[in-house]
Amino acid sequence: MNLAFVVVAVSMHVLSSIFWAGTTFALSRSGGLGLQALRRPQMAAAAVAILSGIGLWALLHRGGHGNAEHALATGAAAALIAALVQFGLLRGERALRGQRVAAGLLAVAALCMAVARYV
């Protein structure tokens, strides 16, 4: 395993996830102000977060069935559902509702990722 590759993948995953979750939290609290301007950057960040997460799983957790992998899998599922809800509801009041639901799911994902090492 190439350490430089892992460092780059983790950096991409963490930074894109922070942007995705942070903008989602902000938009859900602001009543959707700026939603259209952030739609594409959010989608790009979500794609980078999900794809880098898949890569990290393949590198670091393939074949693992411990508590850490269960926590990470729960977080990954929450993030995938958040993306489907958030980007499946693209217009008007439904878009704001999607942001709010996604905010809760992304909070679950972040908590799962944070505790995975300790469970």
Whether the per-residue pLDDT at 12 is higher than 90: the answer is yes
88: tokens are 């499946």
90 falls in which pLDDT band (50, 70, 90)? low
- Location of structure tokens 């300790």: 118
Phi-psi map region of 89: left, alpha, beta (phi>0 left; psi -120 to 50 alpha): beta
N residues, the chain: 119
Per mean pLDDT, which range of 3-17, 19-33, 62-76, 86-100 is the poorest? Answer: 86-100
Q: What is the pLDDT of residues 41-83, one digit of tens each?
A: 999 999 999 999 999 999 998 887 899 999 999 999 999 999 9
Positive or negative, the Cα torsion across 33, 40, 10, 56?
Answer: positive
Whether the per-residue pLDDT at 30 is higher than 90: the answer is yes
Q: What is the pTM of this model?
A: 0.90
